[in-house]
Amino acid sequence: MMKPEMTAQLTEVQALVRRHCPRKSTKTAIDYLTLYHSDTTTDPLLVVYQPRIYLIIQGAKTIRIHKRSFDYDQNHYLVATVDLPLSGHITRASPEEPYLAACIAFEPAEIAEVIAQTCADPGLQAPLRASLGLSPVTPDLLDVLRRLLCALDGEQDRKFLAPMLKRELIYRTLQGDQRHVLHEIADQKSDASRINRALAFLRANFMEETGMTQLPRLAGMGQSTFYRKFQEVTGISPVQYRKRLRLQEARRLMLSEDRLAADAGFAVGYESPSQFTREYKTIFGLPPHQDVKRIRTIGVERYRELNEDVWI
């Protein structure tokens, strides 16, 4: 439960998010800040969480990566430090009490800069699989977010205060439970940073069969070490990661280019339509034609709005 002294802070932040986010998703005039607002719960959607600090201001959400689930609300914030494929959906929202959230994107270099300036303590070493985790929201962190939202009202405030407030947000998270994760990704020589370089290459080249053989070299690791570390960071193997990227691209082809399921499957590298259908259903919950029909019934753009995170 949130501390009583934070209730007034939270109420003010909720009002600010409502005012600055009239739509489902709003990329604000502060380039690293995106706000979310939903009156309804949503279906599970396959997304990639790029490095971010994510605070729920009202409502609740569940995210699932491989066999691990995270359920959280305004009492905890989430830190993700590498590109992670996961399923996420809003579990508590209504017109009276909508889901409200704020996402602060960051780069590892920004974390490294704050660490260098403050000599922040990395805390206890944790396993790499903690590249995504939850920490309790603190009054200090909530206050920084409040001031950041207030800065949206003035152009001069945005230009002058936004960079400083981002550094303060990072500084506050470096004092939380996820500080070891942030230190890990800030170190370019760390295992997490090496795996992240491989992830970036995989996302850019997921259609290429030969790209998989280059991943250990890009990470600067032996083959067996790379596959073990990749599993620790993402919760899945490189082949499973690529499969999710391919299936999402096939879904896009069917929705945006009216491709037939078999054609979309072939286009993303599947040789067997039955295998494509089977794996598609495993990831998205329905066979390709049923999934596409459902989304078109809702409306593609409306479906995107209801499921507020960025598609892969």
Owning domain of residue 257: 240-306
Here the CATH number for the domain that contains residue 302 is 1.10.10.60
**Can you tell me the mean pLDDT for 179-206?**
85
User: Rounded distance, CA 186 to CA 178, Å?
Assistant: 13
> Is the predicted pLDDT of residue 252 greater than 50, yes or no?
yes
Residues 6+ away with beta carbon under 8 Å from 47: 85, 86, 87, 88, 309, 310, 311, 312
Q: Are residues 21 and 158 in the same domain?
A: yes
User: Rounded distance, CA 133 to CA 173, Å?
Assistant: 12
> Is the predicted pLDDT of residue 177 greater than 60, yes or no?
yes
Percent with pLDDT over 90 in the chain: 48
Q: Are residues 169 and 244 in the same domain?
A: no
Q: Are residues 246 and 297 in the same domain?
A: yes
Q: Are residues 64 and 119 in the same domain?
A: yes
Tokens standing for 185? Answer: 């990704």
Q: Are residues 55 and 70 in the same domain?
A: yes
Tally of domains within the chain: 3
Q: Are residues 133 and 102 in the same domain?
A: yes
Q: Are residues 260 and 133 in the same domain?
A: no
Here the CATH number for the domain that contains residue 122 is 2.60.120.280
Is residue 159 included in any domain, yes or no?
yes
Is residue 99 included in any domain, yes or no?
yes
Percent with pLDDT over 70 in the chain: 89
Q: How confident is the model at residue 152 (pLDDT cuts 50, 70, 90)?
A: very high
Is residue 312 included in any domain, yes or no?
no
Q: Are residues 164 and 140 in the same domain?
A: yes
Q: Are residues 71 and 156 in the same domain?
A: yes
For residue 80, the cross-strand partners are: 52, 132
**Can you tell me the mean pLDDT for 188-201?**
86
Per-residue buried b or exposed e for 211-235, using 16+ beta carbons within 10 Å of the residue's own CB: beeebbebbebeeeebbebbbbbbb
Closest C-alpha to 286, from 245, 254, 310: 254
Q: Are residues 105 and 162 in the same domain?
A: yes
Q: Are residues 178 and 213 in the same domain?
A: no
Q: Are residues 130 and 71 in the same domain?
A: yes
| Number of residues in the chain | 312
Is residue 311 included in any domain, yes or no?
no
pLDDT of residue 310: 41
